[in-house]
Structures are given as C-alpha cells and as structure tokens.
Amino acid sequence: MSNRFKPKFNIRKGDTVAVITGDDKDLKKPRKVLEVFPDKGRVLVEGVNIITKHTKPSARDTKGGIVKKEAPISISNVMLWDAKSSAPTKVKRTRENGKLVRVSKKSGEVIK
C-alpha cells in the first residue's frame, strides 16, 4: 500500500474497544487491543474471533494438537471505549500544544 493514500486509524495497540458487529458483539464489555495491522485494516482483540488451529508435533511442541487463538477482525467492527461514560464512542483529532491528540466525542476527554 502506498503511503500517499494510507488510511489513518484511531485505534492503537493497548486501547480498550467494544466490538460493535459480528459473533462476539458486545457493546457493554470493553476489550483490549493486542495488535493492529494498519496495512490490512484489521485488529487483534483479546478474546474475540477465537479459531482452532491444528498443530503437528514438532521439536518445539512435542505434543501437537488443537490450539485456540484469536484471529484478526476488521477495524470497522470495533469502536473505542470511553472510560468516563462507560460506552463506545467516536473519536476526533485535535491539536494540543502542537501535537495531535485523540478526543472522545461523548465525554470530551483526551484518550491516552
């Protein structure tokens, strides 16, 4: 993907988000973002989109078997969690002391 038209996302690693669509939809439960894949437009969220992966025995893992792990979901399926209002919120960017900061539209709080 070229840098000229690279999309900007308001979600970063370590943020708390709410899943707004899909099988794991829960607007009342905040979850933690484990990883963000900006080039693919996907995020890895803790406890969401669990898949089962069948692994063969190897030198590292002598047992093998079935492993459950999270798979990435689309970044459009999550919404940033506002701790003050305890609800999902939209985000706007504003300049504060020459730096861009994320601000919650519901409560007006700066998101760290």
- Tell me the mean pLDDT per 10 residues along the chain, length 112: 80 96 94 95 96 94 91 96 94 94 93 85
Domain range holding 38? 16-82
Q: Is 76 helix (H, G, I), strand (E, B) or coil?
A: helix
Q: Is 60 helix (H, G, I), strand (E, B) or coil?
A: coil
Domain presence at residue 37 = yes
What pLDDT was estimated at residue 2? 67
Domain presence at residue 88 = no
Domain presence at residue 72 = yes
pTM of the prediction? Answer: 0.83
Domain presence at residue 7 = no
Domain presence at residue 42 = yes
Domain presence at residue 111 = no
What pLDDT was estimated at residue 6? 81
Domain presence at residue 62 = yes
Domain presence at residue 2 = no
